[in-house]
Amino acid sequence: MPAAARRRSFPDDEAPMTTRRNVLLLGSAQTLAWASSFYLPALLAAPMARELGLAVATVFLAFSLALVLSALVGPACGRFIDRRGGRHLLMATNVLFAAGLALLGLAQGPWTLFAAWAVVGVAMGAGLYDAAFASLVWLYGRASRNPITGITLLAGFASTVGWPLTAWMSGEWGWRGACFGWAALHLVLGLPLNACLPRARVVLPEAAAEAAAPPRAPPAATARPAAAQPWTPLLLLAFFFATTRFVSTGIGAHLPGLLVAAGATLAAAVAAGTLVGPAQVAGRLLEFGLLRRWHPLLSARLAALGPPLGMGALLVFGLPAAAPFALLHGAGNGIITIAKGTLPLALFGAQGYGARQGWLSMPAQALQAFAPWLFGLALESSPRTVLVMAGSISLAAVVALLALRLPKAG
């Protein structure tokens, strides 16, 4: 029987435990994947560049190539998950991550460096949040909102876990040894975690009850054929995800330098920067608690206001607003990460979710690759230029969300 056709129902008392187990497995695997890829260059780019005789910018250019490739492979990976689920693909990405990281540890010059990051980039496109979200939707259908929030809560600590571990491995074994260490962790930890994911779709008690209920006539807005569905909501969502990812990546790459350029001491800038991670987790806890009673579009609109409000406060009040700026930026982006998985599900349903998610994410991932460079150019002008640029783009993202309409009740 095809994997897509297999389903397993759970009684009321077993369903929450099974869901928590799957969230723990996938969230832990995602923490490893993010820590060993997206957060790796922050600590290893400089020693890589020194030993290979390259500029640090060249290492980040190779990383940008990885981000572009991750965008390109996303739609195909999403279609695969729609048909067969994510277990086997996520297991394959552990092997691919291990191969890419091992090649990175063996790099001898620019060509091997770029080739290694290309392999890691393909693994990122097939093994980070988009694939994890699609895997959960394949498992749980429309009941995926809480599991999606759960894995982002766990993987939100990827930098908290990853940076100290990378620093320790690099200090003990050098940057090459750190790459080999992360490669080994994918094989001995990540691969077994993803291998324990369910082979069949999960039917929760509430989903089973809904399926057993008499069918209702679909609302007029969703009764039209797929070809007649409007493109406007898809384009608005793609614009929202692209602009918010661009700003969050650019600000994240330059936040301490931005505050120092605005007149803060390095210690104060670092202290403000450390607030972003806890604020992201706090925002995700807020989504998991209070905001899950709201439609994802409403919580996304609230979250999207956070970053531009923080930037406006920093522009108006200066350095005394550095901490509120970091908190609003972190909390807003923490919830937006969840909205990236839950909002397309709520607006368009579970059918074809993986492929649609890949296409929606492609502009965001491609634009993200150039964010650190473009924000760096703006910062060379002035910190005010960065804040005005980022604030304007963030406000445009808010407008895009306001243009989206809540679906009518069926």
More confidently predicted of 157 and 386: 386
Q: pLDDT at residue 138 above 60?
A: yes
Using CA atoms, how far apart are residues 44 and 232, in angstroms rounded to an integer? 42
Are residues 156 and 280 in contact, defined by beta-carbon separation less than 8 angstroms?
yes
pLDDT, tens digit (0-9, with 9 covering 90-100), for 27-57 = 999 999 998 998 888 778 889 999 999 987 7
What lies within 8 Å, CB to CB, of 316 at 6+ separation is none
**Mean pLDDT, the chain, as a whole number?**
82
DSSP calls for 253-283:
HHHHHHHHHTT--HHHHHHHHTTHHHHHHHH
CA distances from 247 to 125, 141, 242 (A): 20, 30, 9
Using CA atoms, how far apart are residues 121 and 61, in angstroms rounded to an integer? 12
pLDDT at residue 222 in the model: 40
Q: pLDDT at residue 8 above 70?
A: no
Q: pLDDT at residue 281 above 50?
A: yes
pLDDT, tens digit (0-9, with 9 covering 90-100), for 188-197 = 999 999 999 8
Give the pair of three-digit tokens for residue 382: 């002035």
Using CA atoms, how far apart are residues 382 and 379, in angstroms rounded to an integer? 5
Using CA atoms, how far apart are residues 394 and 374, in angstroms rounded to an integer? 16
Using CA atoms, how far apart are residues 57 and 373, in angstroms rounded to an integer? 9
Give the pair of three-digit tokens for residue 175: 């940057």
Cα-Cα-Cα-Cα torsion 158, 163, 168, 170, nearest 10 degrees, comes to 120
Instruction: Domains for the chain: give ranges and CATH numbers.
Output: 18-201 (1.20.1250.20), 231-403 (1.20.1250.20)
pLDDT, tens digit (0-9, with 9 covering 90-100), for 125-136 = 999 988 898 898
| φ and ψ at residue 9, rounded to 5 degrees | -95, 150
More confidently predicted of 212 and 186: 186
What pTM, to 2 d.p., does this model score? 0.77
